[in-house]
Structure 1
Amino acid sequence: MAEKNIHHRFLFLFRSLFVGLGVLFLLALIISFTTLPFWGYYWLGTSKSKITEKPDFIVLLSGGGMPSESNLMRAFFVFKAAQESPDSRIVIACPGDTSDIRSTARLIAAELISKGIDPKRILYEQTGTNTRMEALCMQKLNGEQMTSKAILLVTSPEHMRRAVLVFKKVGFIRINALPAFENALEADLFFKDDELGGNKTLIPNVGSHTSVRYQFWNHLKYEILIAREMTALGYYKLRGWI
């Protein structure tokens, strides 16, 4: 009898979990057709972002391998910022062996150099393996006290709020932030399905519905990024890192 009750309880919990996940998935699908995911993503990128002065150091917080979408985007924004602040130095914060020209940090540097950045401007922070550790390692770089310097953080939009809060927590007082937002394609992407040939089926045409072809999928991606980042913010808060 006891074994049967345990079995029923297990089935009840499994069904409840399954239904709960289904409801969450359905809710995520519905929300993806609204603008809420974009504004959540935008808030993460801009809520703590401001530029109030020319930076002494432009800090690229790496986000993956090289080449990768995140690091190429960040390198692009670092290059633009370096052009506007020619006296600044650039810090590539990326774990790895910088003596290896194939390492991610050196490949990011090569990308910047190929755009015209003087190699002498580039420094490396190669120890930190998360945002907190990067900030701690940046407190003193090459024997130079950094917390009183004007820095410009460059990272992906979803990571920007946490990055600024972490650097503030460890004592940086002159923090500027530049989120690496991508620009939307300016071209008209509409088309007429039937004019392109192929099979004429009963399914509806999608050529004039960019919300189905692009916005829906982008917003699902934003929802995942937001969920991950909110979890990270919660963890960092509990740890006292922000």
Structure 2
Amino acid sequence: MVKILEIVKDENIIFSEAEKKYGDYYLHAKATLEYLDLFLTNKVENEAYVFLMFFAQVNKSLKLALLSFLRAHNNQAGMNVRHAFEAFVLAIYGLKNPDLSLYYKEKGTLDELEKVNSLARKWLDQEHPEVSANIKIIKKQLSNVLVHANLRQVFDNFSLHKDNIGEGFATSFFDEENTELTKERINWLANNTLTLMQIVQDIKGNCTYINLADSFNKDIQQLSILGKQLRDQLQVEN
């Protein structure tokens, strides 16, 4: 039987060992995800509220994804990343369509909410087709590998064994440890997080509702260079 308090203790141990186990991959991902709180200034106008509300969801879900990858909960990480990208589409749509009444109706039905999602996706298709196409590719990859149940996933925490007593099976609350794969995934997460912040910069344009940090270009460049170096290093090692 898996006890919840024991799980919490085990997760804390796993997380405390992350820097030692993943080194620069962990440090880069940590710095990138923390930069989500720093790349915008605190000076905003009322018209930015829709963007900020949805981007808060992006921020939270990406950080949960990093924690999930590090704690060996890969499906949970994938679902959080997918949620982050869906919220991101609504956030950048909100940057150009800041009227809150477009997102809320008195009934608040699921049909009404889906209409907003549909409008946001169509807007992105028309106004920023390359961004839209890349997001669709990432969501499809996540769906195929991590988000939806499939046979590939079950062997991450299920195994058959045979010993002198007989045949049996074992399950684990945590996915099977794979250090190199986790490095690859947190590097992928960090690099895509950087891309999302750059998309905000591109789509923002002359919009004055939000303002980027004065050091944004320098910070993003430094993080992007290191992210690419780590990705290239993985490819050489593997």
Tell me which protein shows more strand as a share of its residues: 1
Higher relative contact order (CA 8 A, sep 6+): 2
Tell me which protein shows more helix as a share of its residues: 2
Q: TM-score range by the shorter chain?
A: under 0.3
Please give the TM-score of this superposition, normalised by the length of structure 2: 0.27
Tell me which structure has the larger Cα radius of gyration: 1
